[in-house]
Structure 1
Amino acid sequence: MSTRTAFHVALLGVAAYMTHRSSTAPTPPPKDDEVRQDVKPTERIFGKVARRMGDAVKYMTWVSAGCTVAVLIAREYPSELSTNILRRLILVGTGAAARIQPTPVVLAGCALTAFGAAIRMACFQTLDRFFTFEVTVKEGHRLCTNGPYSVVRHPSYTGWCVQTIGVTLWNCCAGSWAREAGWLDRPGGMIAAYAFLGVQAYIGLSMIMRCSQEDALMKKQFGESWDEWAKRVPYRLVPFLY
C-alpha cells in the first residue's frame, strides 16, 4: 500500500473513531427525577431522542468511512474481488476511484472533525458523571468552571458544531467517496446525504437553542456562583462572538 493511501486510510479511521467517541453518551440515561421538566417542548423532544440521534451519526459515519476505505484498498490491490467492490461502490465507472484522494478539503474536514470531537471528549472528562445528553440536575451537582468551561459556557456544543462541519467536508466535498463515486448525483444517495446531514444539523440547532435554557436553569440552581462565572466567561459558544 502506498504511503499516500495508508495516510488516507488512517485519517478516515481517526475521523470516524473520534466521531464515534464524541457521539456516544459517557454516562447511562438519567433517572426520571433527574431530568428537568421546566424546559421548552422542543427540548423535551430533543432530550428523548438525543442518544438515538448520536447513535445514528456514528453508525452512518462508519458506513461512509468503511466504504471509502474499501475503495482505497481495492484500488491498491487489483483482483477480481477488488473489481467487484469497485463496481458496487462506484456508480460512474471504476476509473473514478483514482479521484478519491486526501484533498485539502478532505484534510481540513478530518482535522475539524478530530478537533471538535476532542473538545467534546474534554468536556466528558471534565464533567465526569454529571455530563449527560439530557438537561439534568443530579445529586451533588456542581458548577463546573474549569477546563474547556473556562473558555465558553457550553463548549461541548461548540465541539459538536465544529465536528459537524468537518464530517460534512470529508463526506461530501471533492475527493470524498460519496462525491467522486457519483452517489451524490443519484436520488438515493442524495436522500441518504440529506438524512445524514439533517440529523447532525438538527442536533446542532437543538444544542444552540438549549444554551439559553441551560443558562437560566444553572443561574437558578447556583445563583451568585453562576453570576460570577458568567462574568468571567461571557460567551456561550464562540469566544468574542457568541
Structure 2
Amino acid sequence: MNAPAPIWKMAFMALVGPIFDCSLSPPQPPPASKELLKSPESFTTRFPRISAGFGKLLIRGWMLAEIAVPFAATDICPPALSKRIIELLVHSQQPSDAIARVSTLTPMFFIGGCMIIAGSLLRVACYRILGRLFTYELSIRNQHKLITSGPYSFVRHPSYTGALCFSLGQYLCFFEESSWLVACSGLFPRDEYVRTCLVWGIRAVLCSTLALYLYRRMNQEDAMLEKHFGKEWKDWTKRVPYKIVPWVY
C-alpha cells in the first residue's frame, strides 16, 4: 500500500483528536453548592461532567486506533510493530481490505472531521467568552452577568450549537465505512446492506437522544436565566430569538 493515503488519514486525525479533546475539557471547576440550580449530588448536575470525562477517554481511544492502523500500513512502521498493531486492532476476516479502508480518508470521514473541528472551536470560543460563568452544571454564579456579545448575539446557546455540530460529525466519523469501528472492530456484520441499516439506525438513535437532551437542557437554562435576569433576559430574547441555529431554531 502506498504511504500517502495512510499518512493523510493519520495527519487529519492528529489534528481532529486534540481539538475535540479540548472541547470536552470543563473550563471551570464545579461551582459552589449555593450557586447550583439543583443539588450537587443529583444525577442531572453530575451527568455533564461525567459524560465529558467518558467522552474524552472514548475520543482518545478512537484517535489512537484511527492513527495506529494506518501507521501499520506504511513503510515507516517496523514489521514487528505493524504485525502487533494488526493483531490487536484488526478483527476482520479480510484484514488487508479492512486496513486499506481505515487507511483511506474518505469524503464522509473528512466532512465529519471538519464538523468536529468547527463545533469544537465554537465551543472553546464560548468557554473563553463566558470565562468563569461557563460551568458544566446549571448555575448562577456570584456576580453573574448576562453575556450577549460574540456568538451570543446570533444564538442564545452557541455552546450547544458547537456540541451539536461536533456530535453529528462524530457520528459520521465513528460509523463511516472507513472508520476503525466499522471496518476493523469486528462488531459490525459483514453483509453490506445489514451493516448500512445498522449504522444509520445507530446514528438515528444517537441523534434523537442528543436532540432530546439539548432541548431539555436549553429550556432549563432559559428558565433559570429568565428567573434571575428578568427583563434583561426578555429583551435579549427579542433581539436573539434563535436558541441554537440562526433562522431555524
| Range of TM-score over shorter length | 0.7 to 0.9
Say yes or no: does 1:33 pair with 2:67: no
Say yes or no: does 1:90 pair with 2:96: no
Deviation at 1:168?
Answer: 1.4
- Counterpart of 1:41 in structure 2 is none
Give, in whole Å, the separation in 1 of the partners of 2:170 and 2:147.
29
Structure 1 stretches of 4+ with a deviation exceeding 6 A read 197-201
- CA deviations 1:117-167 (Å, max 9, x no partner) are 111111101100000001101111000001111110011111111111111
- CA deviations 1:142-195 (Å, max 9, x no partner) are 000011111100111111111111111112112111111143327xxx9xxx99
Q: TM-score, normalised by structure 2?
A: 0.84
Say yes or no: does 1:17 pair with 2:18: yes
User: Counterparts of 1:1-242 in structure 2 under 5 Å?
Assistant: 2-37=3-38, 44-76=42-74, 77=77, 79-92=79-92, 93-95=94-96, 96-100=98-102, 101-185=104-188, 205-242=212-249
Which deviates the most, 13-22 or 54-63?
A: 13-22
Partner of 1:49, secondary structure, is: helix
Task: Give, as a single letter, the amino acid of the residue that structure 1 aligns with 2:186.
Answer: W
Deviation at 1:74?
Answer: 0.9
Task: Give, as a single letter, the amino acid of the residue that structure 1 aligns with 2:99.
Answer: A
Give, in whole Å, the separation in 1 of the partners of 2:174 and 2:128.
28
Residues 230 and 127 (structure 1 numbering): CA distance in 2 closer, same or farther, change over 3 Å?
A: same
Q: Supply the RMSD in Å over aligned alpha carbons.
A: 2.6
Is the CA contact (8 Å cut-off) linking 1:109 and 1:167 kept in structure 2?
A: yes
Residues 45 and 198 (structure 1 numbering): CA distance in 2 closer, same or farther, change over 3 Å?
A: farther
Task: Give, as a single letter, the amino acid of the residue that structure 2 aligns with 1:21.
Answer: C
Give, in whole Å, the separation in 1 of the partners of 2:140 and 2:16.
32
Q: Across the two proteins, how many residue pairs are aligned to each other?
A: 231
Q: Structure 1: which 5+ runs fail to align?
A: 39-43
Task: Give, as a single letter, the amino acid of the residue that structure 2 aligns with 1:223.
Answer: G
Residues 53 and 121 (structure 1 numbering): CA distance in 2 closer, same or farther, change over 3 Å?
A: same
Is the CA contact (8 Å cut-off) linking 1:124 and 1:131 kept in structure 2?
A: yes
Deviation at 1:204?
Answer: 5.7
Is the CA contact (8 Å cut-off) linking 1:20 and 1:58 kept in structure 2?
A: yes
Give, in whole Å, the separation in 1 of the partners of 2:46 and 2:206.
14
Is the CA contact (8 Å cut-off) linking 2:99 and 2:184 kept in structure 1?
A: yes
Is the CA contact (8 Å cut-off) linking 2:36 and 2:138 kept in structure 1?
A: yes
- CA deviations 1:41-79 (Å, max 9, x no partner) are xxx522212111101011111101101211111110351
Deviation at 1:6?
Answer: 2.6
Is the CA contact (8 Å cut-off) linking 2:6 and 2:73 kept in structure 1?
A: no
Give, in whole Å, the separation in 1 of the partners of 2:120 and 2:208.
16
Give, in whole Å, the separation in 2 of the partners of 1:27 and 1:182.
36
- Percent identity over the alignment is 31
Give, in whole Å, the separation in 1 of the partners of 2:207 and 2:84.
32
Is the CA contact (8 Å cut-off) linking 1:46 and 1:206 kept in structure 2?
A: no
